[in-house]
Structure 1
Amino acid sequence: MDIRSRQDIENVINLFYDKIKTDKTLSFFFTEVIQVDWPKHLIAMADFWENVLFFTGDYEGNPLETHKGIYQKQKTELVHFERWLKIFYQTIDKHYKGANAEKMKTHAKGIASVMQEQLKKGNV
């Protein structure tokens, strides 16, 4: 079944971040580098992905700018992006198949590529 609703997106986001919270490579970003307000973060991520998939217009943030602040506290390396994508893909693939699932993965890869490129240029 494909991702067809806000509820499906929230399911992906919740499952994904449950894995991130215990991941040796990434969890420290959320516990030591920044103190995440999980309810607020999960809603923002659901808003972001709902806008990506269904063009709701409900997300007003700037992911690159947000991650700039994180990068200034703790540099994000290629290994972090690769691990993030691996967990994100695994989460989607385990529960969903279809055009929107693929769109989420493609968009996530694009975000990671842009952020990495900006890091190389020193723009973050």
Structure 2
Amino acid sequence: MAQQTHPLARFPIAPEQIDTVVAAFYHSVRRHPSLAPIFAAHVADWPAHETKIALFWRNAILFQRGYDGNPMAVHKAAGNVHPSMFDPWLALFDATLAAELPPETAQAWSTLAHRIGRGLRYGLVDSAKTASGVPLLR
């Protein structure tokens, strides 16, 4: 596949590869024992969700406009997303990247995903505290 990458892209990848990774990842999510119920509680239209998330990654990696959303607000508002869920999410995402992409591309995307995941996890920790101010990490 010829890679058509924005000149300022974080790393070389074709938009179609992003779509493929997103579809493969959510295929795995729907079968994952702990992640499937969380996603099922919030995603009614999988094709629309996959399209939106592909747009998110196209923006984050290729700087293509088109994503309109606030991941932090969505994850906070979900109510059943907790910081500990990011470990299995990222492990499954890394496995998908390794299966679908060349190693150097998979590693570059994984690094970005882990950085974004840390930010989301910290945002959830910040909002999940006991009355005494101690963070709830589970």
Q: Tell me the TM-score range normalised by the shorter chain.
A: 0.7 to 0.9
- 2:81, 2:97 → 1: CA distance? 27
Runs (4 or more) in structure 1 with deviation over 6 Å come to none
Matching residue of 2:22: 13
Do the aligned partners of 1:13 and 1:46 also contact (CA within 8 Å) in 2?
yes
- Which of 53, 58, 71 is matched with 1:45 structurally? 53
- 2:108, 2:56 → 1: CA distance? 13
Larger Rg: 2
1:76-119 alpha-carbon deviations (Å, 9 max, x no partner)? 241x2110000100111112125543332112111211122112
- Which of 75, 99, 107 is matched with 1:102 structurally? 107
Q: Which has the higher contact order (CA 8 A, sep 6+)?
A: 1
Do the aligned partners of 2:83 and 2:124 also contact (CA within 8 Å) in 1?
no
- 1:81, 1:108 → 2: CA distance? 10
Q: Does 1:36 align with 2:44?
A: yes
Instruction: Give how far 1:7 is off.
Output: 1.1
Count, aligned residues: 120
Q: Counterpart amino acid of 1:16?
A: F
- Which of 109, 117, 125 is matched with 1:112 structurally? 117
- SS of the equivalent of 2:93 reads helix
- 2:104, 2:68 → 1: CA distance? 24
Matching residue of 2:72: 64
Query: Taking structure 1 as the reference length, what is the TM-score of the superposition?
Result: 0.84
Matching residue of 2:35: 26
Query: Taking structure 2 as the reference length, what is the TM-score of the superposition?
Result: 0.77
- 1:53, 1:36 → 2: CA distance? 26
- 1:35, 1:4 → 2: CA distance? 27
If each structure's helix is expressed as a fraction of its own residues, which one has the higher value?
A: 1
